[in-house]
Structure 1
Amino acid sequence: MAAVRRRADLPRVTAFAVLRAVTGDGAYPNIELSHALRSAGLTGRDAAFATELVNGTCRFQGTYDRILAVAGRRPLTTLQPAVVDLLRLGTHQLLAMRIPVHAAVAATVDLARERVGERVTGLVNAILRKVAAKELSDWMEVLVAGETDPLVVLATRLHHPEWIVRAYADVLPADEVEAALAANNEPAAPTLVCRPGITDRRDLLALGAEPCRWSPVGARYDGVPGELEDVRSARVGVQDEGSQLVALALSRAVEVAGPWLDLCAGPGGKAALLHGLARERGVPLVAAEVAPHRARLIDRAMAAYPGPHTVICADGTRPAWAPGSFAAVLADVPCTGLGALRRRPESRWRRDPASLGDLVPLQRALLRSALAAARPGGVVAYVTCSPHAAETTEVVDAVLADHPHTRLLSAPQYLPGVPGLRGDTAQLWPHRHGTDAMFLALVAVA
């Protein structure tokens, strides 16, 4: 009688499909997971299991790849990409999820058989059993053996590429670097944001959320935001407190009358908040976004607001508006995303130092465009979700040096009560503030 083959379980099948999309097609785990969980009908513990499998594997991917290369005694480039993803998922179960060895290995072998083929099952089984022979802490000792550079050791132990650790060390006190890196390995709790003029924080608290520490329009939510009707209807948004704070700071700094501009508005979180705040002032907001699909996301984020709102597809470096048109301009520029590693676990391995070569010139061009768009007496907020000096203070210093009729405002003045801010700019941190590592510079235009 032929042996009965076990079927791979649905949460692992779903996680594998998502990981293949992330590593093979460049998909974003949060977006891909949302679609995949809904399509598979996974909820509760099964959804949580698949989510941890994907996010945890993405977060520690670089570490797992080094472990697998040692355990398999071969470069991972000699294996099929699908097999590498199977091994990554199995390694996360073995080293970080405390799943019994026999269960983790058997389930991954079943998945390999079903999704790749019988011929790879022996290889998957053999490599994972070698991985299982050591605890994660023991593997760390193997990986750092003989290394004398403390930053390289820290990068290995805390699962970050070395270049990111050095970037953090450049801008943080030495005694905070480890805490900052460790905070990136803790998943961020969802944070809700009200839509001013439609909902307020009392509505968020009525959903069971707890008030944010500094944002008067935000609350932390211990649940799945997508299951809330107010989120689905866009009466409530999902937005990190740090993102809320930089938008609020700009709104507080504006003193002259006139329309507002969000220069790089997709996917729409800050634009929707600014739209509500601008409506309270009786002024319009123009939300500009170069990518049509992201412009549609802005429309969706603003859907709960009655009446017209202006979303245009426009390249911020080639303005579709006259110079000096706006009283407030938000330039939330494309960046490496090193400040959102809690939420974007794949980013630390997807980006590299070469990314800065493309991004920094664009960031400078967008800040110059933002300054040109502001009217006399207006304010520009330069924002990145990165603490890398090349994307933050160096961009601001370089651009303002060529704009003598500008003045750097004290950003901390417009973030009342927020501790640990130094100098005229504001750098938020997960380990200090429990937010993404948002950077803010406020510039007054004469």
Structure 2
Amino acid sequence: MPLTAIQVKNAKPKEKQYKLTDGEGMYLLVLPAGGKYWRLKYRYSGKEKLLALGVYPAISLAEARERRADAKRLLSKGEDPTTVKKIAKITQNQNSSDNFKSIAREWHDKQKAKLAEVTARDTLSKLINHVFPHIGTRPIGEITAPEVLALLRRLESAGKVSAAHRTKQIISRVFRYAVATGRATHDPAADLKGALAPEVTRHHASITDPKQIGELLRTIDTFTGTFQVKCALQLAPMLFVRPGELRTAEWEEFDLKKGEWVIPAEKTKLKREHLVPLSTQAVVALKELYRLTGNQDRIANGRKRYLFSTTQKPMSENTINKALKSLGYSSKQIVGHGFRTMASTLLHEQGWLSDAIERQMAHVEKNEVKGTYNKALHIDVRVQFMQAWSDYLDGLKEDKEGRVVQLKRA
């Protein structure tokens, strides 16, 4: 006997799931938890198959019967209703040029040339891991603010508040790009102001006390890991470049005779070449490292020659921090980026020209026109304080009694 609307409505859950048959292969599956699902059993190419017709009460008895009739029409034409349904879903969502994932990848492809490598990689990683699984296949013009908030709350509830804010910024930029290209009318992420827990600003841990710096440098010299990692630890405080620039450094960027390292624009945060004068101590350390990783045979076939790696991959992102931890320094005491804070703080305290220090730190004024950027600005002063800085570090390392060592001015 066919079902009635009253039977469907009054169907109660039992200890085990059960079926209420309507006829022609269609039935209502009632689960112990209370869910009611329309199903259609049919045969195609000699095999029994099952088609989901929807969930009650969103899909009524009458609507389920209409879907059964549609499936029967497809079968009469020799088509498999399950296959047709899958193709329709793929066409509507995954292959749509206007879904969030497609537009986000399009935006990222246009932006990655302007971003530092590590930033571009982190941006795409956040999209793939935290955004695409939730709204990737949704038409971008239909995505609502609550949908965006729901995926951000997953990060927030996991204690990743900073990641939630960063992901929100990325999503917002994708929407602004979609608006600009005529595929969305507004940015729902912009409506979430104040919806997330406030982000706590955390500065990179560093050591700026001269006596403690001396202890750190002496401890670095006791490092028993690989030679190239030990060299990286020794060069990091002398050069105080960004960690990503140090770990991806290649021998082709160095001129040891001139005492210069020119970091290519594509590796820098500001996408501008950056000149690093090398002290005599840095050159000595680099020459020792060259014996291990600078072998000329590696130039053949376009192979890269990374300073701190004997393979075709640069030193990994967390190597410096892990090495510091192995020496007894936690991430609350100092991290790789902290060597920049160390140098900037003490160079400013010692009275060196602030503009020269900021240029060596690759901190460029926001209103500086890119075309006028001069990587050699204040170079005479920078050469002087880079040598004085290495001399100062040597003095701190040798000063085991904790006496005050001054950073000598030229």
TM-score by length of 2: 0.25
Instruction: Select the structure of larger CA radius of gyration.
Output: 2
